[in-house]
Amino acid sequence: MSDRISQLIDQVREKSILHRDQLVTERSKNETLQTEVNALKTSLSDSTSKIDALKVEVETLKKVQITSKEQNAVAVNETSVSDEQIDDLVKEIEYCIGQLKR
């Protein structure tokens, strides 16, 4: 019976050593994965910050574009010549042509 108990103890010891080795291996894998997760979280945070900054820049550029369009519209309205002014210029040109023909 003593031999049987000795065998069982040896088997338990072997399984214990095997499980301990597996635990050490899994802990090492876990540390590696944790490091990778932390690096990915940092990368995600950086990317999110860049996206937010780009969104702000896009909004600013949209506002500048709208302001520019409004200013161009005002400038076109201010510099546009009315129909009456065009008619007066045509009459003046016709008069000058008439004077030159004489």
Alpha helix (H) residue ranges in 1-102: 2-79, 83-101
Say how many residues make up the chain: 102
Does this model's pTM top 0.75? My answer is: no
Is 81's pLDDT higher than 80?
no
Give 89's contacts (C-beta < 8 A, 6+ positions apart). Answer: 81
Mean pLDDT of 1-19: 93
Token duo for residue 73 = 């519209």
Using only the alpha carbons of the chain, give its radius of gyration. 43
- Structural domain for 65, as ranges: 2-101
> Which of 11-15, 21-25, 77-81, 92-96 has the weakest average pLDDT?
77-81
What's the confidence (pLDDT) of residue 72?
73
Per-residue pLDDT tens over the stretch 20-74: 999 999 999 999 999 999 999 999 999 999 999 999 999 999 999 988 887 776 6
| C-alpha to C-alpha distances, 59 to 1, 38, 51, 101, nearest whole angstrom | 84, 32, 12, 61
Task: Name 9's Cβ contacts closer than 8 Å, sequence gap at least 6.
Answer: none
| Pair of tokens at residue 80 | 């546009």
Name the domain count of the chain: 1
Residue with tokens 């200013």: 71
